[in-house]
Structures are given as C-alpha cells and as structure tokens.
Amino acid sequence: MSYKPASFLDKYDKIIFDLDGVITNEQRYWDAAALTLYQLFTEPFDVTYAVNNVSIIRTIILYRDKIVKLLKNLGVNSNWDLTYVVYAFSTILDTFDTVTIYEKIKRLNLPALQLYDYIKENSVIGGRDGDGYKYLISVYQEWYLGDELFKKTYNKPMTAEGKPGLANMEEPLLDLDKTRLVLETLSKYKTIGIASGRVFEEAFYPLDKWKIFDLFDKDYVSTYTDIINAEEQTGVFPLTKPHYFLFTRSAVGNTVSYSDIVDKKINKEILKNTLAVGDAGADLFSAQQSGMDFLAVLSGIDGAKSRSFFEQNNATYIINNIFDLIEEE
C-alpha cells in the first residue's frame, strides 16, 4: 500500500510541525516539570522517593494536570515556562499549595506574555531573563536529562544526583511506524520543518533515537535555542509562542537573520505557501500572527475537547492526528 499527502495539502510547499502533542508525547516533559517543582517545594528532598513516586507527585503538584491545561490555554507553550509560572506564583502567594496557585492564575486569566510581565513585577524570581529562571531550568534539565547526560551537556555539578533521566523514557505520540510513514510520505513531496518549544538538544535526542530527525529539512528547524539566541541578539523579549517568531523562522529558513524575522523583513509569499501544524492555542496564535494557515491536531492534552476552541479561533483545518495528513494513492 502506498501513500501520498492528503489532497488538502496540495496548495502548500512546506509544512512546519510543532513537536509536543503533535509528534512527541509530552508526558515525560510534564513529569519533569512536576519533579522540578517537587524538589523546589520539598525540604528535605529525597531523590529516591521522587523517582519511585512520579505519578503521585505529578497528580498533586500539577493538580491532576489542571495546571497544564490552564497554562496551555493561556498560551504558555514551554514546559520550562510552565515550571517558572507555577514556582513564581508560589513565591507571590507564599504557598506551595498548587490548588491555590491554580485558582489565582485562573482568576487573573492573563495571556502568556502578560502573565510573564505580571510575574516579573510581583515575584522575587524576576523575569525569564534572570538568574532565578536560569536556576529553575537547570534543575528541570537535571530531571529531564538525568545524571549522565546533564553532566555531559552542561559540565557543571547537579543540585542532586541519582536522577535516571526522563529523556530516556520518551515515546512518540503515535505508533513509531505510523509516525515514520507520515513523515517519510510528506518529505517526498514537501519540505517539512520543526518549530518547537524544546531546546535543540531535547528536540533532536528523541527524533534521532527514533531515526526520523533526518526526514526534516535542517534549514527549516527552529527551537527554543533559537528563541534564546534571538532574544539576546535583538533585545526583543519574549519571542516564545504565541509570538510569531518561531513559526516564521521555520517557514523562511535559517539563512534569514533573527533581526529580519523579528522586524518581518521577509518574503511574505513564503508564508502563504506554508502550513503550520500544532496542538495548542499558542501554536494557533503564533501561526496566525505569522500570516500562515494553521492545522490543529486533536492529539494534545485536551484531545477532542479542544475542537471547539480551534473552531472558535478560526483554525484553517482540524484533524485527529498527523496520520490524517496522508491518504492512500
């Protein structure tokens, strides 16, 4: 049986994929966020207990994933930023009770970029460009990468050793054979790229392990690493989704300078022929600000329940999962 891209894709030369909730499964990322917060909330901290009780800890710390869903709906697109928001509000409210934190964030109902401004003004942690944020992310990376990979990557001491590394437990969202079939089929007819809230190493590691990274055109791969570099070079902050930067950079390619992308000094015709694919509100708004059509997949944390959100916010297409991007010849 042979496949080709679905007919509705005929008008596009390029397809840019978000990863988490689209190709990669976010479960281990949320585990890492929960374990990071647990470590920061707990004194004394027991690594062995945490490693053996991840599910219980996540249920409590992320309030049965209600915090994840809330922040995603507000446009918080990175699990680094999810960790930052929750911990910052613990300092603002002087509590580690995540139900209280959840209720406060829900009442404020601020879109992601405004939420970050609120935190910068009200929390001792400061903004996402400060040392407090960097420390949180370092602890997060310990949990996600584990002892061996963290030391190899960052060449610095850990806050606590004995962490096995959640990166080693990652799985694709769909069956790997199906995922590979979709990407192989699309790559024969289209340029396919990535616009992910993960840093490059964390995007590369699972895709390379599954032998699918080489199906993407490297000139059209953008990650959180590019956001960090672009913020430093341009002085414009923040550039995370729902800002247009990430999808735009993946659409026009890495030969265009960060400053030209931020200033929108680009060939806008390219955007008209590029389709952005994502699972969250931040992806949708980023694509729309870029001037790109957007395809929503219902494989994120809210599943089919997110259909009404995407319909109300004018997603160009809505499909169940990426397998709907191909059809039999």
Q: Give the tens place of pLDDT for each residue, 234-260.
A: 999 889 898 999 999 999 999 999 999
Last residue of a domain, one of 169, 200, 224: 169
Give CA–CA dist 215/188, Å, rounded.
9
Residue pair 86/67 in contact (Cβ under 8 Å)? The answer is yes
Tokens found for residue 10: 């005929």
The CATH number for 263's domain is 3.40.50.1000
Residue 268: closest CA among 243, 290, 295, 237: 290
How many domains does the chain contain in total?
2
Last residue of a domain, one of 148, 169, 190: 169
Q: Which domain holds residue 84?
A: 27-169
Last residue of a domain, one of 112, 143, 169: 169
CA torsion angle for 236, 240, 244, 246 (degrees, to 10)?
110
Give CA–CA dist 10/291, Å, rounded.
18
| 313/207 same-domain check | yes
Residue pair 101/67 in contact (Cβ under 8 Å)? The answer is yes
**In the predicted structure, residue 76 carries a pLDDT above the cut 90:** no
pLDDT band at 302 (very low <50, low <70, confident <90, very high): confident
| 56/15 same-domain check | no
Percent of the chain with pLDDT over 90: 86
Give CA–CA dist 99/86, Å, rounded.
11
| 58/187 same-domain check | no
| 123/268 same-domain check | no
| 75/202 same-domain check | no
Q: Note the pLDDT of residue 245.
A: 97
Helix spans in the chain (H): 27-41, 47-52, 54-61, 66-73, 79-93, 98-108, 112-122, 131-154, 176-189, 200-209, 224-234, 245-252, 258-262, 268-272, 281-290, 307-312
**In the predicted structure, residue 98 carries a pLDDT above the cut 90:** yes
| 13/56 same-domain check | no
pTM of the model: 0.88
| 48/195 same-domain check | no
**In the predicted structure, residue 177 carries a pLDDT above the cut 90:** yes
Which of the pair, 112 or 60, is modelled with greater confidence?
60
| 213/265 same-domain check | yes
**In the predicted structure, residue 72 carries a pLDDT above the cut 90:** no
